[in-house]
Amino acid sequence: MSVTLLWLDVCLDAGLEYIEEGMNDAGTAPSFFCKLCDCSFTDIMGKLMHAKGRRHRLAYKVLWLVLYLLLCLSFCHYLHALFILFSS
Ligand SMILES: [Zn+2]
């Protein structure tokens, strides 16, 4: 498998950790719930198709973009606090 295909595979499977596996209400069949998109599936193929879908990948990217921006903001506040501490 080439590096490009491997990277593409990683990108397409992104966010699988946000899909929880459980049992249906009767406890007779597996059930899957996506915490990012707030939707559920009744079989493994539905889970995999959802993880590769546009809606799930967009929700995953938005989540990580927000986390990245918060990290950058907190780092800027940290640098600002250091600047104030050492400039006075
Ligand atoms: Zn999802």
Range of the domain at 16: 3-87
Coil vs helix vs strand at 41: strand
Q: Is the pTM of this model over 0.85?
A: no
88 CA → ligand 1 middle, Å: 49
Greater model confidence, 26 or 72: 72
Report how many domains make up the chain.
1
Greater model confidence, 67 or 25: 67
50 CA → ligand 1 middle, Å: 6
39 CA → ligand 1 middle, Å: 7
Judged by phi (left if over 0) then psi (alpha if -120 to 50, else beta), residue 57 lies in alpha
Tens-digit pLDDT profile for residues 51-84: 999 999 999 999 999 999 999 999 999 999 999 9
72 CA → ligand 1 middle, Å: 26
17 CA → ligand 1 middle, Å: 10
